[in-house]
């Protein structure tokens, strides 16, 4: 069943309101809250219910679990103020109840990046201690050896004829 035009319009409206709330809360964290810890909080996204009654603000924090806990406490204490300011800016019949949730997707991405970095370091240290897995060009069969003269990268010399091997004398 295709969505009706009112569903599409309400979905578009919900997206627009969620985007506005994200910008508003992010700005409030930087400018309006008098707590220096707020500067380390990033609003990653906002999810709003179809009936516009609840808005979940997802955030990430620069730092460890202790910083994450402090940020959660800060946001809960500032929640009434943030809801009131959001309500002032929205031109809707009711203001959504604003809640905060740590964005686990960001934490998962950071964890995955740390794992990949650690694997890359381990691989580099293994390769450094064991030597290269592939032979160098001088070790490869048919490759240049130390007792053969180096080849010219410029191509045939200007004195050789096109069909003559490189390095032969001119006629």
* Three-state SS annotation for the chain: CCCCHHHHHHHHHHHHHHHHHHHHHHHHHHHCCCCHHHHHEEEEEEEECCCCCEEEEEEEECCCHHHHHHHHHHHHHHHHHHHHHHHHHCCCCCCCEEEEEECHHHHHHHHHHHHHHHHHHHHHHHHHHHCCCCCCCCCCCCCCCCCCCCCCCCCCCCCCCCCCCCCCCCC
How confident is the model over 40-65, as a mean pLDDT? 92
Average pLDDT of span 22-49: 92
Tell me the two tokens of residue 60: 């990430």
- Separation CA 71–CA 37 (nearest Å): 7
Q: For residue 46, is it within any domain?
A: yes
- What is the pLDDT, as a whole number, of residue 6? 47
Whole-structure pTM value: 0.61
pLDDT of 143: 53
**Per-residue pLDDT, 29:** 93
Domain count, the chain: 1
Residue 168 contacts residue 160 (beta carbons within 8 Å) = yes
For the cut 50, the answer to whether the pLDDT of residue 49 exceeds it is yes
Residue 149 lies in a domain: no
- Whether residue 31 lies inside any domain: the answer is yes
Q: Is residue 53 assigned to a domain?
A: yes
Structural domain that includes position 63: 8-103
CATH number at residue 69: 3.30.300.20
Q: Tokens at residue 32, please? A: 């309006």
Is pLDDT of 39 > 80? Answer: yes
Q: Does any domain span residue 87?
A: yes
Q: What's the CA gap between 15 and 20, in Å, rounded?
A: 9
- Does residue 140 sit within a domain? no
Query: What are the backbone dihedrals phi and psi of residue 170, each rounded to the nearest 5 degrees, phi first?
Result: -70, 155
Tens digits of per-residue pLDDT, 86-106? 999 998 888 899 999 999 887
Task: Please check whether residue 60 lies inside any domain of the structure.
Answer: yes
Q: Which structure tokens are listed for 49?
A: 């219910």
In-domain check, residue 29: yes
What is the average pLDDT score of the chain?
79
Give me the mean pLDDT over the 128-135 stretch: 67
Residue 20 pLDDT class (50, 70, 90 cuts): very high
pLDDT of residue 7: 43
């Amino acid at each position: 069943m295709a969505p009706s035009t009112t569903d599409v319009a309400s979905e578009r409206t919900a997206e627009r309101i969620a985007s506005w709330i994200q910008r508003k809360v992010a700005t409030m964290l930087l400018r309006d809250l008098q707590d220096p810890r707020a500067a380390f909080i990033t609003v990653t996204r906002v999810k709003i219910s179809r009936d516009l009654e609840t808005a979940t603000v997802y955030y990430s924090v620069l730092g460890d679990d202790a910083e994450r806990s402090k940020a959660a406490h800060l946001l809960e204490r500032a929640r009434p103020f943030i809801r009131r300011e959001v309500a002032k800016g929205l031109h809707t019949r009711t203001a959504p109840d604003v809640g905060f949730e740590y964005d686990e997707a960001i934490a998962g991405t950071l964890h995955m990046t740390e794992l990949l970095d650690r694997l890359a370091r381990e691989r580099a240290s293994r390769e450094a201690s064991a030597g290269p897995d592939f032979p160098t060009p001088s070790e490869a069969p048919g490759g240049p050896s130390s007792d053969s003269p180096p080849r010219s990268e410029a191509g045939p010399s200007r004195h050789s004829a096109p069909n003559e091997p490189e390095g032969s004398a001119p006629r």
